[in-house]
Amino acid sequence: MCLALPARVEELLDAENAIVNLGGVRRNISLALVDAIAVGDYVIVHVGFALQKLDEEEAARTLALFAELGQAQGGAPEAGAQ
């Protein structure tokens, strides 16, 4: 039950409620724990509440770090996990 997923905010219902898209499923969630959320933002959803806004720039930075690592090593070692 600790699993929580990033979901895209599709529609703001009122100041404290929104509809998110959670892997294709639309779900009502509460925004009572977060501030200044806009349509298109990604939020971490847990037990029906947005816990935190996902920082898309930081996400891109973390992915870039992984990509760099991939290039530095010049491809996968023999036992690739595909």
Partner 1 sequence: MKYVDEFRDGRLASQLAASIAREADPSRSYRLMEFCGGHTHAISRHGLADLLPGNVRMIHGPGCPVCVLPIGRIDQAIRLALERQVLLCTYADTLRVPASGRLSLLKVKARGADVRMVYSIAEALGLAQRHPQRQVVFLAIGFETTTPPTAVAVKQARALKLKNFSVLCNHVLTPAAMHAILDTPSGTRLDGFVGPAHVSTVIGSRPYEPFARDYRKPVVIAGFEPLDVMQAILMLIRQINAGCARVENEFIRAVTPDGNRKAQALMDEVFELRDHFEWRGLGTIAHSALKPRPAYAAHDAEARFGLEYRPVSDSKACECGAILRGEKRPAQCGIFGTVCTPDNPIGSCMVSAEGACAAHYNYGRFREPSTGTHAPALEDSA
**Which residues are at the interface with partner 1 (CB under 8 A)?**
1-6, 8, 23, 30, 32-35, 42, 44, 46-49, 51-56, 58-59, 61-63, 65-67, 69-70, 73, 75-77, 79-82
Distance in Å, CB of 10 to partner 1, minimum: 13
Spatial contact of 44 and 4, defined as CB atoms under 8 Å apart: yes
Residue type, 3: L
Distance in Å, CB of 71 to partner 1, minimum: 10
**Nearest to partner 1 of 39, 63 (CB atom):** 63
Three-state DSSP class for 57? helix
Residues β-bridged to residue 3: none
According to DSSP, residue 38 is labeled -
**Nearest to partner 1 of 39, 65 (CB atom):** 65
Residue 64 structure tokens: 């870039």
CA 41, distance to chain mean position in Å, is 9
**Nearest to partner 1 of 11, 32 (CB atom):** 32
